[in-house]
Each structure stands twice: as C-alpha cells, then as structure tokens.
Amino acid sequence: MRDDSFHVFDTTLRDGAQREGINLRVSDKLAIAQLLDDFGVAFIEGGWPGANPKDTEFFQRASRELTLRHAQLTAFGATRRAGVRAADDPQVAALRDSGAPVVTLVAKSDDRHVERALRTTLDENLAMIADTVSHLREHGQRVFVDCEHFFDGYHHNPDHALDVVRTAAGAGADVVVLCDTNGGMLPGDITRVVTEVREATGARLGIHAQDDTGCAVANTLAAVDAGATHVQCTANGYGERVGNANLFSVVGALTLKRGLDVLPDGCLPEMTRVATAVAEIVNLTPDTHQPYVGVSAFAHKAGLHASAIKVDPDLYQHTDPALVGNTMRMLVSDMAGRASIELKAQELGLDLSGDRALAGRVVERVKALELSGYSFEAADASLELLLREELGSPVRYFDTESWRVITERRPATGADSLSNGYESLTEATVKLLVKGERVIATAEGNGPVNALDRALRSSMEGAYTALAGLELTDYKVRILEGTSGTNAVTRILVSFSDGAGEWTTVGVGPNVVDASWAALEQAVTYGLLRQGYPQV
Ligand SMILES: CC(=O)SCCNC(=O)CCNC(=O)[C@H](O)C(C)(C)COP(=O)(O)OP(=O)(O)OC[C@H]1O[C@@H](n2cnc3c(N)ncnc32)[C@H](O)[C@@H]1OP(=O)(O)O
Ligand SMILES: CC(=O)C(=O)O
C-alpha cells in the first residue's frame, strides 16, 4: 500500500490540456498517463468526464487499457448546479459513473464568484459543496475539493473562504486544495494564507498554483513549507494561460532539496525521459533550458566553470544530473579554457594524456576560428575532428581535388503559378582521391547542397557501402555580418544521422556553397569514422 501522507497529483491531462496549442487525442492521453505512472505520481487527473466525448472515452478506455503501477486515476468536475440535488445533476452522475476511484471537485470559494458567476447565495454554495461531496463519498469515491480563486477569496471574504474549507472537509473530502487560479500570488502570500487556514480549520490542505507571476513552483514549495501535503502540478508546466507549477521542478525540489520521499523508489531517474516523451506527444519542442530535465540544464560553457568541474562536478552543479536521468555536457566555444577541452575530450572518449600544451593549442584554434564565424558548441563532430588532428591522427577517408556546381534555370513543363513558368536544376561534379584512386562523379539535385551531397556519396559508395545509410537531417544557414547584404559571411551547420545517432558539423565562408561543402565534407568523414572504417 502506497504511503498516503504526501500526494504528488498530476493534472497534465486536465489543466495541462487547457494550454493554447495542445490538442490531445484519447490515445495521446493514454500514452501520457502511462508515462506519468512510470514517473511514480500518486494521482493522474484524466479530464472531465461528461464535459466532452474525448474525456468520457478516456475514462472508459483507461480502465481497460492502462496498467497503472503507482497512480490512481482521478476524474475532475464541478460541484452540482445551484438548486438541483447532486443525485439529479447529470454532470455529477458522469463523475460518479466514470469508474475513477477518486474525484476532484472544483468549488467556488471567492464570494464574488459565487454571487456574480454562479449567481447564487453563499449558503447555497456551501450546500452545493456538501451535497456533492457526500453524494460521491456515499458511492465509494474518494474526493478532493479544488477551491477555485481561494487566495483572492480569502483576501476579500475570509469567513466564506474558511467556511468552504470546513464544509468540504466536514462532508468527507480528504484534501481541500487551495487554488491560486489567477496565478497572481507571491510566495509570502501563500505561506501566510496556508498557515492561517491550516490553523483555523485543521483540514488536510493541498496547493494548485497557476504560473502567471512566474512563481508557481515557488508558491507550491511555500505551501508545502506551510503544511500542505498535496501538490497539483503538470508535466513541463503546461496549463491554462502561461501554465501551472512544473511537476518536474516541484518533485526535484521536494526530493533533492527537502529530502521528502514523494516518489516510489527508482522513479526519480525517469524524470528526463518522461519530460521529453510528454513534450513529443503534445507536439511541443522540449524546453532545452528547463530546470533538471532540459538538455542544457547541466551544460557548462565557461572555462572557469570547467576548471572547477574538473576537480569536482559538484562545484558548479546544484545536484547530480544522473539522479534525474540527465547528463552533464561540456560546451566548447571561445569561452573555453584548457579544462573545457580536457573534459570535452574525455566526453568524446579521446585521451589527451594530460597534455596541457595540446589542450592550449586547441583552445587557441577554437578561439581564432570562432572569431572568424565558427561555432563549435553545436558542432561536436567538427570539434572532434579538430581534436584528432591536434592529437596527430587526422581523420581522412578521401581528399578533395575539386568540385563544381552549375545551376540552370529553364522553362518548365507543368510548372505551378509560383515558379513563373521556370524551373531550376543543379548539377554538381566532384573530383576526389579515394583509397588512392581518382574518382569523378556527377549528380543532379534540387539545389547546390543536394547535388553536392549526392555527387559526394556516389563517388564513394563503392568504397564505403555504409554511406547509403547516412541521412542529412538538418541544414541551417546563419548570416554572420547582417550589414553586408549578399556579400556577408555565412555559417552553415549540417546534421547527419546513421539511425543510431546524430552529429553536427560547421562550415564558414563568404561563399555559401563553399561553406556548405566544408560542413558536408566533415559530416561524411565523421559518419565514416562512426562506421569504423579504417582510414586511408
Ligand atoms: C479553474 C479551472 O481551470 S476549472 C476547469 C475548467 N475547465 C473547463 O471549463 C473545460 C471543460 N468545460 C466544458 O466543457 C464546459 O464549460 C462545461 C461542459 C463544463 C459546461 O458547459 P455549459 O453547460 O455550456 O456551461 P458554460 O461553460 O457556459 O458555463 C459553466 C456553468 O457552470 C457553472 N459553474 C462554474 N463553476 C461551478 C462550480 N464550481 N460548481 C457548479 N457550477 C459551476 C457556471 O455558473 C455556469 O453555469 P450556467 O450555465 O448556469 O451559467
Ligand atoms: C482548479 C484549477 O485549475 C484552478 O483553480 O486553477
């Protein structure tokens, strides 16, 4: 039986889904629920059964299709309408019949909302809460009550706000959740109010904090410090308007900073995987700078940081990334020092044998190249090739004698209205020395880079069969001197994949095709190195 003394309650599938830009299918919701269960949350709020067909179907399918090891499903919905018995309210019936063992009821606790939005009396509001909680409890469901706008309501009419808490708890709600629905509170407000409400009512309290002041995580932690034992959060902080308290930041803080065992054993290292997988499912780019789980959360750029990290990573990290399933990374740029290079070499599996002079030479080359427009922090493959060269074993699979590209614009057959009756075709010829033989290859492409890529591969596919499995996955152009117009220097980043991994290289030059070739040549060389081909 799971310890019930502290609840991590996730509402990604309900409040998270209220974020602009998220539109989940039932299968998405089921997949996210499974991930949240892997992460070990105690409650997963699945949605509002009866409010829309998708959420109703989610609860039907969840009972058949989900195997939850850690979490209980929770159905969300409102208290009964004014003037109707809970037993006769169809929305309450949908909660009762959802199959969820737990129901979270949203209740009004700000008298202005009662009078102006519900258009009823304060007494009827209390009756709606008591009647709905008792009805669901009689049907065997556990009930939590979300007190909407609690903090604003407490400020405006503390007596009614406290009556709501006492009524909910008195009717059988296990947790009364104080909600900062408009997200306007600051941590000091939360500490004071939670403390006062706990002392005045003795109820078990929870916290639900929207992030409109950017304080949702801090507010959640302040509530816990003041005695709340139930935290409502969403994966990656998704939620209505700017979002909710971020589940991963809250859990990271509670476990690693406060020493609370809020997850089952072994679940914390799932954090980074779950955060990324949820972002993929909701179709939002993962936030690279998100605390704990972002790809940059433990990425170090400054040379002074690296020199201390070399002695002990704890000197520049607030926690061990492995505890949350993340990894430390060294970034090499013109802010690097010798220690950065030494650590990067270690990360890449290269042995510098403590050669400080060699590391110093690499630093100097990197700084000079970055001054001319290169950027190595996103181009690990280029950096590795440079390091190998300085180590005295440059990577060579072919030598380029020359290449040429011709783009022809000609009348098109079946051209669409955008092409103005013309089409362009590019042809590239490359001349290389491959394993001692001179090879010449020509290929067509839809542009210079595509044509060069195809010619380069076709010239070597006999010698290196694995080339067929390499794929160009990204091509980025950055104009470095914006004021020079078409005379500018450009930086090209190309990314390749071989199915097992991805790598990026960088080329720079005043001629965009030349810079692209430089990046392409390195990317293919690095790809062949990854395949383990012996060098020529
Ligand atoms: C703070 C939060 O984020 S709470 C979560 C909010 N989530 C959602 O609203 C998403 C799902 N909502 C919906 O699909 C719809 O709004 C429904 C199905 C719930 C209701 O739809 P409708 O019946 O068309 O009503 P509508 O949305 O216009 O208004 C909500 C009604 O609920 C009432 N209501 C609001 N809060 C409560 C409450 N805590 N208890 C009881 N009734 C409430 C309102 O007074 C209003 O009543 P009225 O129709 O008599 O004016
Ligand atoms: C319940 C809820 O989502 C809120 O009050 O913000």
What are the tens digits of pLDDT across the range 405-424? 999 988 877 656 566 788 88
Side by side, which strands form the sheet with 398-411?
A: 398-411, 422-434, 437-445
Tens-place pLDDT, residues 440-472: 999 999 899 999 999 999 999 999 999 999 999
Classify each residue of 400-419 as buried b or exposed e, where b means 16 or more C-beta atoms within 10 Å of its C-beta.
Answer: eeebebeeeeeeeeeeeeee
49 and 75 Cβ atoms separated by less than 8 Å: yes
Q: Which residues line ligand 2 (CB under 6 A)?
A: 15, 106, 146, 148, 179, 181, 208, 210
pLDDT value at position 487? 73
Q: Which DSSP symbol is given to 253?
A: I
Which is the closest atom of ligand 1 to the Cα of 52? 14
Ligand 1 contacts CB of residue 403 (under 6 A):
no
**Which residue's alpha carbon is nearest to atom 35 within ligand 1?**
118
**Which residue's alpha carbon is nearest to atom 23 within ligand 1?**
51
In this structure, what is the dihedral angle of CA atoms 167, 117, 44, 322, given to the nearest 10 degrees? -110
Q: Which ligand is nearest to the Cα of residue 78, counting in written order?
A: 1
**pLDDT cut 70: percent of the chain above it:** 98
Residue 321 to residues 167, 292, 343, 351, 392: CA-CA distances in angstroms?
44, 7, 16, 24, 34
Tokens of 34: 């499974």
Distance 169 CA to ligand 1 centre (A): 23
Task: Report, as an integer, the average pLDDT of 413-436.
Answer: 83
Who's near 425: CB < 8 A, 6+ residues apart? 407, 408, 410, 444, 446
Task: Report, as an integer, the average pLDDT of 351-379.
Answer: 95
Task: Report, as an integer, the average pLDDT of 488-501.
Answer: 95
**Which residue's alpha carbon is nearest to atom 27 within ligand 1?**
51
Which is the closest atom of ligand 2 to the Cα of 183? 6
Which is the closest atom of ligand 1 to the Cα of 148? 1
Distance 77 CA to ligand 1 centre (A): 9
Distance 246 CA to ligand 1 centre (A): 25
Tens-place pLDDT, residues 300-348: 999 999 999 999 999 999 999 999 999 999 999 999 999 999 999 999 9
Tokens of 308: 């201390």
Tens-place pLDDT, residues 101-147: 999 999 999 999 999 999 999 999 999 999 999 999 999 999 999 99
Ligand 1 contacts CB of residue 108 (under 6 A):
yes
Which of residues 415 and 86 earns the better pLDDT score? 86
Task: Report, as an integer, the average pLDDT of 146-151.
Answer: 98
**Which residue's alpha carbon is nearest to atom 45 within ligand 1?**
118
Who's near 483: CB < 8 A, 6+ residues apart? none
Q: Which ligand is nearest to the Cα of residue 182, counting in written order?
A: 2
Which of residues 200 and 424 earns the better pLDDT score? 200
Tens-place pLDDT, residues 41-83: 999 999 999 999 999 999 999 999 999 999 999 999 999 999 9
Residue 233 to residues 208, 243, 267, 479: CA-CA distances in angstroms?
7, 10, 17, 41
Calculate ∠ Cα 214-217-218, nearest 5°: 85
Distance 408 CA to ligand 1 centre (A): 62
Strand 175-180 relative to strand 142-148, pairing: parallel
Give SS3 for 145. Answer: strand
- Please, what is the average pLDDT of the chain? 96
CATH code matching the domain that covers 7-282, chosen among 3.40.50.740, 3.20.20.70, 3.40.50.1000, 3.40.50.920: 3.20.20.70
Distance 148 CA to ligand 2 centre (A): 6
Q: Give the ipTM of the model, two decimals please.
A: 0.96
**Which residue's alpha carbon is nearest to atom 4 within ligand 2?**
181
Mutate to test the pocket of ligand 1, among 15, 81, 116, 121 (most ligand atoms within 8 A of CB): 81
pLDDT value at position 484? 66
Side-chain half-sphere CA neighbours of 226 within 13 A: 25
Task: Report, as an integer, the average pLDDT of 371-379.
Answer: 95
pLDDT value at position 125? 98
Who's near 346: CB < 8 A, 6+ residues apart? none
Give SS3 for 232. Answer: strand
Rounded-to-integer distance, Cα 200 and Cα 286, Å: 42
| One-letter amino acid for residue 2 of the chain | R
Q: Which ligand is nearest to the Cα of residue 83, counting in written order?
A: 1
pLDDT value at position 483? 63
Mutate to test the pocket of ligand 2, among 76, 151, 213, 240 (most ligand atoms within 8 A of CB): 240
**Which residue's alpha carbon is nearest to atom 25 within ligand 1?**
51
pLDDT value at position 414? 66
Task: Report, as an integer, the average pLDDT of 156-172.
Answer: 98
Q: Identify the CATH class of 465-536.
A: alpha beta
Which is the closest atom of ligand 1 to the Cα of 179? 1
Which is the closest atom of ligand 1 to the Cα of 79? 40
